[in-house]
C-alpha cells in the first residue's frame, strides 16, 4: 500500500506525516515496515518465523483479519497487506481482491494469513473452502499459493505443514 500522507525523512528509518494519519493507516504502515525489516532480502523458508512475526503484529486486533504475504520469485517478501477486516455485518473474502492485490505487487507466490482473535487458530470448513477457492483463482494466473497460516493468540496452524495445500 502506498502512503501519500507519509514520506521518508532526512535520516534513514525516519518518516514525516504531512497530513493527518489514522490509526489504521499507522498500523498498516507498521506491518509493512516490520515485514521489510524482518525479511529484508531473505527467502521465506520457515512458516514458524512468519507466524510468530504475524502473531505479534495482529494480536491487538479485535476482529478477524485476512492478510496476504506477497513474494517474489526468490520467495522474498515484497509486501504484507491486510486484505480484509471482518465487521459484525461482513465476513466475506473476495477472490478478485486477493488476485488484484497479488497482481498489483507483481507477486510470484503468496502466503494467505488469517488471524482468529478468539485465540483458536483451527480453520473452519468455510476457511478451508476459501483456501481452495483462492488457490484455484491464483493458480489460474500463475501465482503459487505456498501456505495458508491461521494465527491464534498462542499458536498457529499451517495448512502446508498439514499437507492441505
Provide the pLDDT for residue 35: 63
Query: Does 36 have pLDDT greater than 70?
Result: no
Give the SS3 label for residue 123: coil
Query: Does 40 have pLDDT greater than 60?
Result: yes
Closest CA to 22 of 38, 41, 3: 3
pLDDT in tens, 98-141: 999 999 999 999 999 999 988 899 999 999 999 999 999 999 99
Query: Does 148 have pLDDT greater than 60?
Result: yes
Domains of the chain: 44-158 (3.40.140.10)
Amino acid at each position: 500500500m502506498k502512503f501519500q500522507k507519509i514520506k521518508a525523512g532526512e535520516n534513514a528509518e525516519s518518516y514525516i506525516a504531512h497530513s493527518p494519519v489514522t490509526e489504521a493507516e499507522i498500523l498498516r504502515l507498521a506491518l509493512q515496515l516490520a515485514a521489510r525489516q524482518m525479511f529484508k532480502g531473505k527467502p521465506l523458508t520457515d512458516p514458524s518465523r512468519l507466524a510468530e512475526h504475524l502473531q505479534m503484529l495482529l494480536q491487538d486486533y479485535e476482529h478477524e483479519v485476512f492478510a496476504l504475504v506477497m513474494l517474489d520469485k526468490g520467495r522474498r517478501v515484497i509486501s504484507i497487506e491486510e486484505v480484509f477486516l471482518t465487521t459484525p455485518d461482513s465476513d466475506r473474502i473476495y477472490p478478485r481482491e486477493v488476485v488484484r492485490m497479488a497482481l498489483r505487487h507483481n507477486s510470484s507466490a503468496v502466503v494467505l494469513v488469517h488471524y482468529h482473535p478468539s485465540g483458536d487458530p483451527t480453520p473452519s470448513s468455510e476457511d478451508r473452502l476459501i483456501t481452495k477457492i483462492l488457490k484455484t483463482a491464483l493458480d489460474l494466473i500463475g501465482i503459487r499459493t505456498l501456505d495458508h497460516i491461521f494465527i491464534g493468540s498462542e499458536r498457529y496452524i499451517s495448512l502446508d505443514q498439514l499437507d492441505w495445500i
